[in-house]
Amino acid sequence: MPRHQDPIVAVATAPGRGAVGIVRVSGRSLQALIHTLCDKVLTPREATYTGFLDAQGVAIDHGLALYFPAPHSFTGEDVLELQAHGGPVVLQLLLARCLEAAGQTLADARPTLAHLRLALPGEFSERAFLNDKIDLTQAEAIADLIDASTEAAARSASRSLSGAFSQEIHQLRDALIHLRMLVEATLDFPEEEIDFLRKADALGQLSKLQQGVLAVLQKARQGALLREGIKVVLAGQPNAGKSSLLNALAGAELAIVTAVPGTTRDKVQQTIQIEGVPLHVIDTAGLRESDDEVEKIGIERAWLAIAEADAVLFLHDLTRLDATEYIASDAAIARTMTQKLPQNITILDIWNKADAAPSQVPEHGVVVSAKTGVGLDVLRHQLLQLAGWQPGAEGIFTARARHVTALRRAQDHLAVASQHLAQQAQALDVLAEELRLAQNALNQITGEFTSDDLLGVIFSSFCIGK
C-alpha cells in the first residue's frame, strides 16, 4: 500500500512528563535528516550525545541520538531515535522540527526526507511485521506486554514476543505441509500401486497432528485468559454485602459501605488478580423495586452489567434467611436471571455474613464473611475454576480470541480430514482440501495468510509511536 512507503515520525513515549522522552523516525535513507537535525554523522547502533537543532541552528535540547541502518532495525528500515528530556513541550518541538527539516531542500533541490508524516497507531510495529522482522503473533505480543495487568500476563506476553507461540504454530504447520505432500503425491500418481499413505503412516501423522493442535489450543486458552481475564458481576438485594465483598477481594476501600439500603447507585469496577489471572469485578446497585429515579437508573445498569458478565456472584444475606419478604425477593431475582441471562453465564450463589449468621447454612454455593474474610480463599478458588484456569500450567504464551478461534477451526478441519482418510482413495481430494483449510487457519495466526482488514483492526489498537 502507498502509505507504507512514506517515512513516519512519532513521539514513542507515553504522554505526560518524564525523565526521558523519545521521538522516533523510520524510513529509507535518513542520513540527510540526521545531518540537518544533529549536524554530525552518527555511528550506527552507538548512542551519541548531541544537540537537536532548530532551523536557525540553535539547540532545542541536548540528548542521545541513535541510528539503526536498515535492515538491522526494529522496522527493517532506517530508524532514528532522539532521546531528549521528557517534557511534553520539548517533545512536540522536536516532532515539529523533524517534520520541518524533512521539507527543507538539499543542494540538488531534493527535500531532506520527502513525504515524512506522523505515524498512525501501531505503524512502527506494522512496518516490522510487513518487513518480516516479526510475525503477527509477536506484533500482537508487543501490545499485550504494554497492556499486561498482572505479572503472569507480562511474562506470557514476553514468551510470545520471543517467538514461543510462533514456534509451536510453525511446527504444526510444517507437519501439516508434510502430510499434505503425501496426500498430493497419492493424488498425482493414482496409477502407482504403492500405497503412499499407508506406508508413510499418514493416519498416525494426522493423529499426532491433532494432538499437537489440542495441546497448543489448551495453552492458547490459558494465554487468552491471562490477557483478557473474566468479568465477574456482584448482584443481589440491597445490603447483601456486595460492596463489602468487592472491598474484601480488592483489599481496599473502593466502594462506600453503609447500613442504608441503596447506597450503591452505579457500577464500581476493580481489576484484581488471583494467581496472575485478572478478574474484572463489578459491584452493582441492589436489585429491588424503587421509586427513586436515580436508583432506578442504577438498577437498570446493574441488569445490563449482569447480562454482559462472564460469571455472576449472586449474594444472599444469611442473617435474613428467615425473613419471608427477603426470601421471596431473592427467588424473584433468581427467576429473572434465569429468564434474561444466556445459558453460558455461570451464576454462583454466595452466602454472605457468615460471622453473624446461625450455624445452619445452605449446602450449595460458597459461604463467606466479607467482614472477617472467612471463605474468601474458597471463593477465589471457585472463581479460578469458573474462569477455566489450570494452576501450575507451564510455558503459557499470551493469546487472543482470534488465535483460539483459528486453532479451533484447524482442529475442526483435521477432524473432518481424519474421517476422509479412513475412506482411503474414495475421498482423497476432499481430504487434501480439508488439510489445506487447516493450514490456512494456522497461517492466519502468524500472519502468513491475513487480510488487510484484519491488520488494520490489530494495529489500530496499538499506541502511537509503537
pLDDT tens digits, residue range 387-432?
788 776 667 888 888 999 999 999 999 999 998 887 765 677 888 8
Annotated binding site for Mg(2+): 243, 264
Residue 407 vs residue 465, higher pLDDT:
407
pLDDT, residue 259, reads 46
Query: Can you name the residues that pair with 22 across neighbouring β-strands?
Result: 83
Annotated binding site for K(+): 239, 258, 260, 263
Q: What is the mean pLDDT of residues 264-292?
A: 78
Whether residue 51 contacts residue 69, with contact meaning beta carbons closer than 8 Å, is answered with no
Q: Tell me the pLDDT tens digit for each residue of 186-223.
A: 776 655 544 667 777 888 999 999 999 999 998 898 88
Residue 24: CB partners within 8 Å, gap ≥ 6? 9, 10, 11, 12, 79, 80, 81, 82, 124, 465
Distances (CA, A) of 207 to 117, 261, 411, 424, 438: 52, 60, 11, 15, 14
Query: Can you name the residues that pair with 51 across neighbouring β-strands?
Result: 62
pLDDT band at 75 (very low <50, low <70, confident <90, very high): very high
Annotated binding site: 24, 81, 133, 239-244, 258-264, 283-286, 352-355, 466
Annotated binding site for GTP: 239-244, 258-264, 283-286, 352-355
Residue 232 vs residue 388, higher pLDDT:
232
> Does the pLDDT value for residue 236 go beyond 50?
yes
Q: Distance between CA atoms of 278 and 305, rounded to whole angstroms?
A: 18
- Tell me the percentage of the chain whose pLDDT exceeds 70: 89
Annotated binding site for (6S)-5-formyl-5,6,7,8-tetrahydrofolate: 24, 81, 133, 466
Task: Assign 66 to helix, strand or coil.
Answer: strand
In three-state form (DSSP H/G/I as H, E/B as E, the rest C), the secondary structure along 99-158 is HHHHHCECCCCCECCCCCEECCCCHHHHHHHHCCCCCHHHHHHHHHHHHCCCHHHHHHHH
Domains and CATH numbers, the chain: 2-135 (3.30.1360.120), 148-225+400-447 (1.20.120.430), 234-387 (3.40.50.300)
Q: Distance between CA atoms of 301 and 265, rounded to whole angstroms?
A: 9
Q: Tell me the pLDDT tens digit for each residue of 133-184.
A: 999 999 999 988 988 888 888 889 999 999 999 999 999 999 998 888 888 7
Task: Assign 352 to helix, strand or coil.
Answer: strand
